[in-house]
């Protein structure tokens, strides 16, 4: 394979001033970050570091991967500081970093749970101990903090911690692999940030360790002393307890699909198990494939991607239908009401697709990245920024509501780092081109050696498909400006300085190449027709139903806007669907309206089959973006509504 | 409870000359009975009796309930002889009966499998030994033979056999219960035919034995010597083998839902397990409830009926989705392509509903009886009468085809006895009324003491809803003529001697009461609109689909009539469906025609969700009765087609 060399623009090379993302980033800064900080205080996650360093007493509190939530908060702070300087916030982060530094052991080891509760059990239970998972988030936040602030405080902790892993694990050293993946991608990130290839080698070693027969986790399990107990979220269980629950549901087997350990990674072709683990693994595989040009990893990723997107993904770009394993089940099992669709998994989709885009330069990955970001991901947080969905149903009878916190608060802390990092998804650059992946209003500058190509972007995307880019600084030589034509659009009209042009389109990107001049204007027009989506009939729950999409936005119906029970609504194919922008609704959204039909009253009580009857009357319906549901009075919500397709 | 006293008319009190049933009965007589006879010869089922009597050698052949197939053939012969005398057929039956008589042990025991193969194991394995099942069919055929011919030859064998059971099992005697139910209903039949209440008592004992904790079958299982083997359909297994497979799939449990032994019968409220077993059990429960006015049995039957008809029944009146247990699974699990819907189970539905009708006088049971008889049941045999479906899918890719025989030939021998017995379903009588349940052309005579009410019925039902009844003999006193208004019709128009009348309607029967005169004419007009049926949305496979029904007939589309792949068809709500009778097609059927739409070509390859697109063009479609499918060139078949409901 010849990996494309597409990289995100540096954090500070992008400014965001966007009608969709900027209000969310502002709320994230002013509300969510502080809400989450207080919760990390209240629940002991911050104090665990003070306790581990001996500066406080009280033992460990929270789930044993609670350190990761502090690191994710720091990563969110870092992206926020990159968007806008804030000395007070920066000082708050410095205090947390100082506390982390004090907790770190001299050898670099850092995991407050094991340090405080089970100092002798270090690395004894990689399957569920989460030491590696915590380390991954430490490394990610450290790179972000360094990039955003230039400070090495957190980066030095991360390097020391990574060195500790690197001294311990690897060929000729100790065997091992992360139970919850994430360290792999973080090691590649650290390797890129520091130029130190040892971290990349360790990531590769971890990938190559996966899927042995018998599993590494099996050997580890056999060594665990079942007379020893541990506390997990308030329950005392023996130290093999999580394996017994998640690997050994059938006691005759030791099934490690849960953590994608069932096959060597290059042989994997089905997305299985815990969805967040899967996304973090595939992200790490893409990172290593890119750095090492590993064709086997690349080929596996293509198969995994097809498997997920053709059989195991919601229309919103989210994944993982089942609460049981927080993950994948079987092909086309995509229930709406019980959709787990964990917010972290949707963020994981964005992380993986961003890497696949980098690896291939193929817009189809950006399509899914966009889908997840504008729908499944942003649904995870309220518009007010203070409550969260962990699981995201596609149908609700009115009971589902965002809450302020969770015993396992991974989703809030993942939202905190996702929202302010949109710039990393919006633009990329290759050797000689600036790639516009998402139509986010603001500014971007790509540097080619000593030269820069800078553009401003103006749009009210995703509500309008009219986008205007203006070159504000041009390099002397010919460079490309590559604009993504979204898959949902199919085509786009382009104008260059007012004249229609038809640029070459490759893998979904329109390739405009020229010697640019400051002041050059590119106008892009995307068709924003409302589409009635159907699901493959193999998805049982969506048969006879349609979902509405406009641009990248998936819509839903909420009780608040619709006079009748959503289950009484039938949308005929003949009913036109209109668009109306409402700046005062849900932070400013375009709503969809139509004249649907009220289904006949006859109920299913007392019958299994019945003649279809005549609809009673037309009813006006209003659909709002799925990402904004659940921000008003509780009520029913449905993404897929009954309707005719033709 | 006060059971209604509705009984079928005696066999010889009804003549059938019907466009739907008479050709089928004629084929059954001329073709099916002899085809089946030859197969019973070839496969050894007949010779087993000769071997058991010592007149032949060669041991036992066939499944160990193979005797029952011979009895079922004799029952079919008996109904056939009741419809039309046939000395040659009668003599053929007499020979078989003589052979059976020779095989019977002096004490009345009769089971050629145990006599030939395991003489020491008599009644050791009631769960799967089928001695009681065989006996049930012996009793049923004996009563039919006696009623049809007046001969006691088979009846005496049956009485001797029933006495053998009666001496052995019962309170203060031996514990036991049929593994495959059927003997219960047969004992009631014999009790009614002979006036001997001991058989009724034994049936009641068997019902009361069911569902003990621990199960009787568990105790029996523990006594079986697992070092002993038996042969089952060519496989050698230990004598606990079938229990291990069907009761102990989970080795920690001994689950007897398979044979409805999980709860005492009066506590059962879910239809579970093997579907034929269930129907035969409920039929026996209805028979005993009726004879003993047992309110507990009656109440359970109502719950079981609701459970089946509201959650676990196909639109064709068939039941049992799964091949695994030949039976029920979970609520609303009604897959079309893999529908097991065993022919015997559909016949069982007719048997049970006929008894519920007798118990209640409620037409809703006749509605389902009719549905099953005109659709799921008759689909089980080809129009030529020589090939059969064991399982009956509601969707086929073109591979499903009727075959001439099966290793377990229960369905052909059940068809053989069902088709000529339609008269037992068509009419009933109560103390003072003749009830017309099915609109079958012919003649019927009800006797009230010394008086008779005789009617001729003319119609081309189910193709037309115009029915004409003429009184040919009238009793001196006022009597009722009760005519069923089918549930699918909702209402009916009546004329008496040319004048519109509006009779009292109770439980779905129009009650015409008067002092009848010979020559009185009643005309009944039923609306025969084509209905688009929808399934409760909980039935995943039928969402977004419609099935076509006209009168009692469920339609399907076959590839033979339709120019395009059935999966490409979409039937909009706006498309009118026309009716056209075609006397030359499939033995003479009314077909349905409509202009449907061809769905857009875009395929599901490479996508999980897609915009719905525009239909390509109108396509004419033709639907034929489901009961006649698979009688032409192989091809796709679908009962539920994609379409809009409103």
In this predicted model, what pLDDT tens digit does every residue of B246-273 receive, in sequence order? Answer: 888 777 788 899 999 999 999 999 999 9
How far apart are the C-alpha atoms of B487 and B527, rounded to whole Å?
Answer: 11
Average pLDDT estimate for A224-250: 88
Residue of chain A with shortest Cα separation from B617: A646
Can you give the pLDDT at residue B233? 83
Neighbours of B529 (CB within 10 A): 15
Average pLDDT estimate for A124-150: 97
Q: Domains of chain B: which residue ranges?
A: 17-290+297-425, 430-525, 530-642
Q: Give the pLDDT band of residue B432 (cuts 50, 70, 90).
A: very high
Average pLDDT estimate for A536-551: 95
Q: Please count the residues of chain A.
A: 646
> For an interface test with B, which of A316, A544, A566, A604 has the most B Cβ atoms less than 10 Å from its Cβ?
A544
Nearest to A566 by CA among A616, A646, A640, A633: A640
Contact state of B545 with A541 under an 8 Å Cβ cutoff: no
Chain B residues with beta carbon closer than 8 angstroms to that of A309: 608
Asked if B336 has any chain A CB less than 8 Å from its own CB, the reply is no
Neighbours of A317 (CB within 10 A): 26
Top-level CATH class of A430-525?
mainly beta
- In the three-class reduction of DSSP (H, G, I as helix; E, B as strand; rest coil), residue B271 is classed as coil
Query: Which are the contacts of A557, defined by CB distance < 8 A and separation ≥ 6?
Result: A566, A569, A621, A622, A623, A624, A636, A637, A638, A641
How far apart are the C-alpha atoms of B62 and A306, rounded to whole Å?
Answer: 50
Contact state of B315 with A609 under an 8 Å Cβ cutoff: yes
Q: DSSP code of A432?
A: S
Can you give the pLDDT at residue A645? 84
Q: Please count the residues of chain B.
A: 646
CB pairs under 8 A between A and B: 121
Which of these ranges, A87-96, A107-116, A240-249, A529-538, has the smallest mean pLDDT? A240-249
- In the three-class reduction of DSSP (H, G, I as helix; E, B as strand; rest coil), residue B319 is classed as strand
ipTM for the predicted complex comes to: 0.92
> Measured between CA atoms, how close is A315 to chain B, in angstroms?
7
> What are the structure tokens assigned to B49, written together?
């009796």
Q: Quickly tell me which residue has 């497979």 as its tokens.
A: B245
Q: Give the pLDDT band of residue A132 (cuts 50, 70, 90).
A: very high
Contact state of A534 with B609 under an 8 Å Cβ cutoff: yes
Chain B residues with beta carbon closer than 8 angstroms to that of A646: 570, 572, 597, 599-600, 612-615, 644
Query: Which are the contacts of A85, defined by CB distance < 8 A and separation ≥ 6?
Result: none
How far apart are the C-alpha atoms of A59 and A115, rounded to whole Å?
Answer: 10
In this predicted model, what pLDDT tens digit does every residue of B281-299 receive, in sequence order? Answer: 999 999 999 999 999 999 9
Average pLDDT of the residues of chain A: 96
pLDDT at B3 over 70: no
Instruction: Return the bridge partners of B197, or none.
Output: none
Asked if A249 has any chain B CB less than 8 Å from its own CB, the reply is no
How far apart are the C-alpha atoms of B15 and B23, rounded to whole Å?
Answer: 14
In this predicted model, what pLDDT tens digit does every residue of B143-199 receive, in sequence order? Answer: 999 999 999 999 999 999 999 999 999 999 999 999 999 999 999 999 999 999 999
Average pLDDT of the residues of chain B: 96
Cis status, amide bond into B246, omega within 30 of 0: no
pLDDT at A494 over 80: yes
pLDDT at B478 over 90: yes
Q: DSSP code of B151?
A: -
> For an interface test with A, which of B271, B305, B548, B611 has the most A Cβ atoms less than 10 Å from its Cβ?
B611
Q: Quickly tell me which residue has 């921000």 as its tokens.
A: A631
pLDDT at A4 over 70: no
- Residues A101, A107, A113, A118, CA torsion sign: negative
Catalytic positions of A: 326, 410
A460 burial class (0-12, 13-18, 19+ CB within 10 angstroms)?
A: middle
**Pairing between β-strand A433-436 and β-strand A479-484 as defined by DSSP bridges:** parallel
Query: Which are the contacts of A211, defined by CB distance < 8 A and separation ≥ 6?
Result: A260, A261, A262, A263, A264, A265, A267, A268
Chain B residues with beta carbon closer than 8 angstroms to that of A573: 572, 612, 644
Can you give the pLDDT at residue B1? 64
Q: Give the pLDDT band of residue B390 (cuts 50, 70, 90).
A: very high
Asked if B550 has any chain A CB less than 8 Å from its own CB, the reply is no
In this predicted model, what pLDDT tens digit does every residue of B481-540 receive, in sequence order? Answer: 999 999 999 999 999 999 999 999 999 999 999 999 999 999 999 999 999 999 999 999
How far apart are the C-alpha atoms of B605 and A416, rounded to whole Å?
Answer: 37
Q: A479 with A452: CB under 8 angstroms? A: no
- Biggest alpha carbon distance in chain B? 77
Nearest to A157 by CA among A94, A78, A202, A104: A104
pLDDT at B601 over 90: no
Can you give the pLDDT at residue B234? 83
pLDDT at A337 over 90: yes
Query: Which are the contacts of B555, defined by CB distance < 8 A and separation ≥ 6?
Result: B547, B548, B549, B592, B623, B624, B625, B626, B639
Can you give the pLDDT at residue B372? 98
Contact state of B600 with A646 under an 8 Å Cβ cutoff: yes
Can you give the pLDDT at residue A248? 84
Query: Exposed e or buried b for every residue in A392-404, given b needs 16+ CB within 10 A?
Result: bbbbbeeebebee
Average pLDDT estimate for A9-23: 95
> For an interface test with A, which of B308, B371, B534 has the most A Cβ atoms less than 10 Å from its Cβ?
B534
Chain A residues with beta carbon closer than 8 angstroms to that of B610: 533-534
Backbone dihedral angles phi then psi of residue A286, each to the nearest 5 degrees:
-65, -40
Average pLDDT estimate for B231-249: 87
CATH topology of domain B17-290+297-425: Glycosyltransferase (1.50.10)
Asked if A490 has any chain B CB less than 8 Å from its own CB, the reply is no
Can you give the pLDDT at residue A1? 64
Query: Which are the contacts of A253, defined by CB distance < 8 A and separation ≥ 6?
Result: none
Contact state of B531 with A611 under an 8 Å Cβ cutoff: yes
Query: Exposed e or buried b for every residue in B176-196, given b needs 16+ CB within 10 A?
Result: bbbbbbbbbbbbbbbbbbbeb
In this predicted model, what pLDDT tens digit does every residue of B54-95 receive, in sequence order? Answer: 999 889 999 999 999 999 999 999 999 999 999 999 999 999
Catalytic positions of B: 326, 410
Residue of chain A with shortest Cα separation from B310: A608
How far apart are the C-alpha atoms of A9 and A14, rounded to whole Å?
Answer: 7
Contact state of A646 with B311 under an 8 Å Cβ cutoff: no
> For an interface test with A, which of B549, B609, B618 has the most A Cβ atoms less than 10 Å from its Cβ?
B609
Q: Give the pLDDT band of residue B605 (cuts 50, 70, 90).
A: confident
Q: Give the pLDDT band of residue A602 (cuts 50, 70, 90).
A: confident
3-state secondary structure A483-514: EECCCCCCCCEEEECCEEECCEEECCEEEEEE
Asked if A253 has any chain B CB less than 8 Å from its own CB, the reply is no
Can you give the pLDDT at residue A530? 97
* DSSP secondary structure of B562-613: -SS-GGGEEB-TTS-EEEEEETTSTTSEEEEEEEEEEPPS--STT-SEEE--
pTM as predicted: 0.89
In this predicted model, what pLDDT tens digit does every residue of A377-407 receive, in sequence order? Answer: 999 999 999 999 999 999 999 999 999 999 9
Asked if A487 has any chain B CB less than 8 Å from its own CB, the reply is no
Q: For Cα atoms B375, B381, B382, give the angle at the middle one, nearest 5 degrees.
A: 105
Contact state of B543 with A546 under an 8 Å Cβ cutoff: no
Residue of chain B with shortest Cα separation from A617: B646
Chain B residues with beta carbon closer than 8 angstroms to that of A606: 310
């Amino acid at each position: 394979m010849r990996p494309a060399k597409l990289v995100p623009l540096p954090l500070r090379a992008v400014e965001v001033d966007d009608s969709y993302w900027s209000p969310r980033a502002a709320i994230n800064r002013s509300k969510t970050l502080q809400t989450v900080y207080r919760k990390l205080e209240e629940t002991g996650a911050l104090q665990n570091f003070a306790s581990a360093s001996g500066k406080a007493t009280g033992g460990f509190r929270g789930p044993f991967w609670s350190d990761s939530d502090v690191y994710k908060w720091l990563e969110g702070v870092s992206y926020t500081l990159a968007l806008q300087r804030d000395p007070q916030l920066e000082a708050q982060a410095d205090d947390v970093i100082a506390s982390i530094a004090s907790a770190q052991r001299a050898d670099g080891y850092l995991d407050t749970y094991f340090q405080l509760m089970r100092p002798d059990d270090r690395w004894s239970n990689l399957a569920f101990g989460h030491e590696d998972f915590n380390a991954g988030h430490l490394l990610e936040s450290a790179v972000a903090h360094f990039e955003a602030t230039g400070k090495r405080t957190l980066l030095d902790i991360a390097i020391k911690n990574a060195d500790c892993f690197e001294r311990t694990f690897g060929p000729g050293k100790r065997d091992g692999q992360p139970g919850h993946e994430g360290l792999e991608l973080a090691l590649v990130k650290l390797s890129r940030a520091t130029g130190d290839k040892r971290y990349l080698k360790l990531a590769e070693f971890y990938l190559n360790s996966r899927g042995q027969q018998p599993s590494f986790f099996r050997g580890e399990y056999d060594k665990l002393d079942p007379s020893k107990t541990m506390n997990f979220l308030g329950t005392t269980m023996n130290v093999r307890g999580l394996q017994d629950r998640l690997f050994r549901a059938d006691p005759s087997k030791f099934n490690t699909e849960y953590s994608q350990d069932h096959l060597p990674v290059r042989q994997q072709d089905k997305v299985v198990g815990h969805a967040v683990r899967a996304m973090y693994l595939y992200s790490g595989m893409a990172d290593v494939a890119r750095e090492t040009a590993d064709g086997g990893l690349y080929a596996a990723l293509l198969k995994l991607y097809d498997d997920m997107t053709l059989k195991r993904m919601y229309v919103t770009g989210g994944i993982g239908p089942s609460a049981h394993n927080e993950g994948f089940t079987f092909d086309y099992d995509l229930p709406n009401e019980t959709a787990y669709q964990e917010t972290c998994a949707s963020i994981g989709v964005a992380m993986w697709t961003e890497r696949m885009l980098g690896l291939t330069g193929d817009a189809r990955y950006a399509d899914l990245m966009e889908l997840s970001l504008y729908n499944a991901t942003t649904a995870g947080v309220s518009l007010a920024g203070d409550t969260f969905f962990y699981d995201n149903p596609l149908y609700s009878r009115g009971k589902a509501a965002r809450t302020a916190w969770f015993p396992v608060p991974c989703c809030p802390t993942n939202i905190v780092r996702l929202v302010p990092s949109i710039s990393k998804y919006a633009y990329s650059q290759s050797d000689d081109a600036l790639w516009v992946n998402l139509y986010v209003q603001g500014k971007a500058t790509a540097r080619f050696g000593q030269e820069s190509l800078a553009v401003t972007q103006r749009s009210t995307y995703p509500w309008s498909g009219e986008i205007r880019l203006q070159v504000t600084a041009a390099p002397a030589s010919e460079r490309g400006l590559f604009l993504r034509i979204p898959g949902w659009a199919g085509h786009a009209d382009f104008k260059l300085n007012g004249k229609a042009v038809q640029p070459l389109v490759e893998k979904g990107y329109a390739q405009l190449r020229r010697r640019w001049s400051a002041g050059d204007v590119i106008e892009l027009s995307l068709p924003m027709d409302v589409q009635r989506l159907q699901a493959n009939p193999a998805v049982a729950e969506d048969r006879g139903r349609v979902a509405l999409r406009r641009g990248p936005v998936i819509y839903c119906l909420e009780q608040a806007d619709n006079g009748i029970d959503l289950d009484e609504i039938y949308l005929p194919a003949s009913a036109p669907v209109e668009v109306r922008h409402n700046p005062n609704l849900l932070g400013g959204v375009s709503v969809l309206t139509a004249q649907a039909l009220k289904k006949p009253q006859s109920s299913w009580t007392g019958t299994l089959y019945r003649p279809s009857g005549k609809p009673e009357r037309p009813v006006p319906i209003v659909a709002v973006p799925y990402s904004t549901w659940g921000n008003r009075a509780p009520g029913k919500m449905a993404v897929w509504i009954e309707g005719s397709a033709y």
